[in-house]
Amino acid sequence: MRYLLRLLPVVVLAACSGGQKYAGIEGPRVLVNVDDKGAALKGYDAVAYFTDNKAVKGDSTWSSAYHGGIYHFASAEHKAMFDAEPMRYEPQFGGYCGYAASINKVSDIGPEWFEILDGRLVLQHNAKAWRLWHEDVAGNLVKADSNWPGLVEREGKPIQMASAPAAR
């Protein structure tokens, strides 16, 4: 029991840190589709998909980091909207192709192949993925949602942070 009580602060730190690594405890994995500069959505504005109903290229002048990606926006207003509610605008499946997730794979996206489903931004790779996704949108969404945790575990990277100071 005494051992568990001494371990409790480390476990609490790991849980409160979003699962980051503390004292040798590795946290959960993340899987976000980013380019070689860390830009999510190939630099397109996540908010514009919702407000303009189209793919709009963002500008690095207005950027925010969130869940392992850097999001660029077409305006300061869109950046402020994202910063206020990032989970609302964050793409599903880490910004990877929804159809690929439904068949338990990870695939890049074409930013113009998107739709908003029940308030969720879902992107596809290309016209073929769009067509296959739309053969059964509801069923494919269920499959993608079900497959996503396993894809993150298999393909994702662990969240890392420096270890906490050693216990005295």
- Mean pLDDT for each consecutive 10-residue tract of the chain (168 residues)? 38 41 64 97 98 98 96 98 98 98 98 97 98 98 98 88 50
Distance CA 120, CA 128 (A): 21
Element (H, E) at 153: helix 137-155
Q: Is 18 left (phi over 0), alpha (psi -120 to 50) or beta?
A: left
Phi, then psi, of 166 in degrees rounded to 5: -65, 145
Model pLDDT, residue 17: 42
User: What's residue 4's pLDDT?
Assistant: 38
Q: Distance (Å, rounded) from C-alpha 164 to C-alpha 3?
A: 18
Measured between alpha carbons, how far is 42 from 36 in angstroms, rounded to an integer? 10
**Which pLDDT value is given to residue 160?**
60
Question: Which residues of 9-159 form beta strands (DSSP E)?
Answer: 29-30, 59-66, 69-73, 114-117, 120-123, 157-158
| Domain spans in the chain, listed from the N-terminal domain onward | 1-30, 32-88, 91-159
Calpha distance 90→120 (Å, rounded): 8
pLDDT of the residue at 1: 41
> Whole-model pTM above 0.85?
no
